[in-house]
Chains A and B, each alone.
Chain A
């Protein structure tokens, strides 16, 4: 069964610094997708970035990049040049493509950006 683990309940980062949010996963399916979502205090879930298991390069979307280490089964989110508006909950999620299974989420990491 697929499983997502986020070991950092909370993180602090100085404005303009980079921060890495950890995510490890477990699956026996060779074909899967990894996702990161942001949830600000307003409550909506905002899609940030997607990485497919067969993608050769790490995914990037603006200031977000996904550090994909397949052998370690890790999919860490890197936010560069942190901004105050980045303060939010961040969720890592995974879907097994072969089984067309729904997204399974980790428990999240709360990021606080300090001025």
Chain B
């Protein structure tokens, strides 16, 4: 059981380049999330998808787009990378029901934009 997987683990981009961060979960969860983590800022929500076919903006959506390709996969795209997007990106999925509520995180992608 792989849980939440993310690719790549590390990436270096030049300003203006584009890339897509991939995320997949094999736990049949409905909700998936993308966060970024910057020093001293905790985790901030970029976008989320409450169910297949829906996406919503979080706290810091500017400069990003997302696609909920199917129930398993939720990708994050940077169309024109900027140095301010240097961060660690976490994908997560949510288990809810029977009095439980747990959000599982992937291992993270460390992105540097030069």
Measuring CB to CB, which residues of chain A are less than 8 angstroms from any residue of chain B? 33, 35, 37, 43-45, 47, 50, 52, 91, 93, 95, 97, 100, 102-108
Nearest chain-A residue to B41 (Cβ)?
A107
Chain B, Cβ-Cβ closest to A100: B50
Looking at the assembled complex, report how far the CB atom of B27 sits from the nearest CB atom of chain A, in whole angstroms: 13
Secondary structure at chain B's binding surface: helix, strand, loop or mixed?
A: strand
Q: Which of B99, B103, B108 contacts A103 (CB 8 A)?
A: B103
Inter-chain CB contacts under 8 Å: number: 51
**In the assembled complex, which residues on chain B have CB atoms less than 8 Å from the CB atom of A93?**
43
24 A-B pairs with CB atoms under 8 Å apart are A33-B101, A35-B101, A35-B103, A37-B105, A43-B107, A44-B108, A45-B43, A45-B92, A45-B108, A47-B103, A47-B104, A47-B105, A50-B102, A91-B42, A91-B43, A95-B101, A97-B101, A102-B33, A103-B43, A103-B45, A105-B35, A106-B42, A107-B42, A108-B42
CB distance from B4 to the nearest CB of A (A): 10
Task: Please report B residues at the A interface, Cβ cutoff 8 Å.
Answer: 33, 35, 40-45, 48, 50, 58, 88, 90, 92, 99-105, 107-108, 110
Besides A100-B50, A102-B45, 7 more A-B contacts (Cβ < 8 Å) are A33-B101, A45-B108, A93-B43, A97-B101, A102-B58, A105-B42, A106-B42
